[in-house]
Structure formats: C-alpha cells, structure tokens
Amino acid sequence: MDHIAANLAQVKATIAQAAADVGRDPQGVQLVAVSKTFAADQIRPALRAGHRLFAENRVQEAAGKWPALRQDFADVQLHLIGPLQTNKVRDAVALFDCIQSLDRPKLARALADEFQRVGRSLPVMVQVNIGQEPQKNGIDPEHTDRFVQLVRGEYGLDVVGLMCIPPAQDDPVPHFQALARLAEQSGVVGLSMGMSGDYAQAVAAGAHWVRVGSALFGRR
Ligand SMILES: *Cc1c(COP(=O)(O)O)cnc(C)c1O
C-alpha cells in the first residue's frame, strides 16, 4: 500500500507546482482525498502517511467505514461531496465536517434545522451546475448569487465555498473560471473544483479545495 503514500506525495507536489506557476501560495490549496468505493484498509495508508482531509459521496457508505477510522485518527476532516436527501441530514451532520453539495432551498432548511437541534453547525458549500446539464445536481449559475444570499440570510448558513463538477466532455478551464467569477459576484471566498484529471488546471484557476480520488487510490 506504499503506492498510496507515493501518490499522495506526487499529487501534493503537482499542486504546489501548479500554485507556484501562477504565483499562489500552495498552502492556500487543500487536497481533499476522495475515498468513495475504497475500503478502510485502502484508506489507512493515506492516514498513516499523515493525510487528514477526505471526502465521500454517500452518507451510508461513509457511516460504514469512517467511525472506526476516526477512532484511530481523531483529527480527520470528512466532507460530503455527493447528493444529500433530506431524510439523511441527521446522519450526515453527525458524520461530516463540511457539506459541499448544498443544492436546493429545502436542503438548506433541513440543515439549518438540524444544526439548531444539535447546537453545532457545519460549514457548507453551494454546488453549482456550472455546465447547466439537465441530469446534474446543482444550482443554476444564474441563480447562484440569489441562492447564496438566501441560505446566508434566511437560514444563517456558513457558506465557505462554491463547488462544481464540469461536464465530462468539456474543457474544464472555462468552467473553473466561470465558477471563480460567480464566487466573486456572490461574495463567496472558497472554490472547490478540480478532480484527478484536471486538478492542476483548477489550481491555476484559483481552487482552494481539489477533490482527488483515482489519482490517489487507483481506479474505481
Ligand atoms: C468521485 C468524485 C471526485 C473524484 O474523482 P476522481 O476523478 O476519482 O479524482 C471528485 N468530486 C466528486 C463530486 C466526486 O463524486
């Protein structure tokens, strides 16, 4: 499992280089290790190598592996990057440290209610359907500013970033740049963008979180 530590070092070096190339501080970019579909045994080498920031796309799957991993590595930070049904909000708030996939008012309300109930609130990111794909989750780019103001004002949520998954067939760079402009327009500081195939380009476009799975853990 040494290859996972080697992959981590490689990806971190690529991030640092991509940041340096555009005059950014590499410390301003966080590597989110996407461990979906990988078993706890495959995640442990990354933890042993000192990595602490991970993401999963399903609440159920995360519930099956992370409580045990957290017993050994208490300072883990876990982000949710997949769709969240309102009936799973309670489990999600108990498991995760950040919800990156806030994509509708009903979910904002359910999260706000749950934060109130447990007396603890999590940072959230607004997922933007940057390529306006009919099948994809996320707020329409044109409605992003209004949605951000709604969830901040009406529900008091702490919106720390915008998140996007560009259309698979497109050049991702214009989409990354569009997300950066939307963030600026709506007064959001953080950008979660870039995956295994394009995280260096995302860093060049201003990403603060890159979400990398297969380049670290292998093919799914
Ligand atoms: C799976 C996934 C990733 C990671 O994808 P890779 O191509 O394996 O790096 C990033 N973001 C989201 C939302 C995902 O579901």
The CA 190 to ligand 1 mean position distance, Å, reads 18
2 confidence band (pLDDT: 50, 70, 90):
confident
Task: Render the burial of 105-128: b for 16+ CB within 10 Å, e for the rest.
Answer: eebbbbbbebbeeeeeebebbbbb
The dihedrals phi and psi of 162, each to the nearest 5 degrees, come to -110, 145
pLDDT digits (tens, 9 = 90+) for 87-117: 999 999 999 999 999 999 999 999 999 999 9
The CA 165 to ligand 1 mean position distance, Å, reads 8
The CA 37 to ligand 1 mean position distance, Å, reads 11
pLDDT digits (tens, 9 = 90+) for 106-156: 999 999 999 999 999 999 999 999 999 999 999 999 999 999 999 999 999
The CA 86 to ligand 1 mean position distance, Å, reads 22
Per the DSSP assignment, residues forming a β-bridge with 33 are 54, 212
Q: Which atom of ligand 1 has the smallest separation from the CA of 195?
A: 9
Q: Is the CB of 36 under 6 A from ligand 1?
A: yes
How far apart (Å, rounded) are the C-alpha atoms in residues 212 and 220?
Answer: 12
Of 191, 82, 92, 87, the residue nearest 138 (C-alpha): 82
Q: Are 210 and 15 in contact (CB under 8 A)?
A: yes
Residues near 171 by Cβ (< 8 Å), separated by ≥ 6? none
- Residue in the block written with tokens 């380049």: 215
Q: Are 81 and 60 in contact (CB under 8 A)?
A: no
Whole-number pLDDT of residue 78:
98
- Residue in the block written with tokens 């292998």: 218
pLDDT at residue 1 is higher than 60: no
Q: Are 102 and 124 in contact (CB under 8 A)?
A: yes
Q: Which atom of ligand 1 has the smallest separation from the CA of 211?
A: 10
The DSSP H or E segment spanning 180 is helix 172-186
pLDDT digits (tens, 9 = 90+) for 8-54: 999 999 999 999 999 999 999 999 999 999 999 999 999 999 999 99
The DSSP H or E segment spanning 107 is helix 105-118
Nearest CA to ligand 1 atom 4: 213
Site to probe by mutation for ligand 1, drawn from 78, 175, 195, 209 as the one with most ligand atoms within 8 Å of Cβ, is: 195
Nearest CA to ligand 1 atom 6: 213
Nearest CA to ligand 1 atom 12: 81
Report the SS3 class of residue 197. coil
How far apart (Å, rounded) are the C-alpha atoms in residues 36 and 56?
Answer: 5
- Half-sphere exposure in the Cβ direction for 61 (13 Å, CA): 18
Q: Is the CB of 125 under 6 A from ligand 1?
A: no
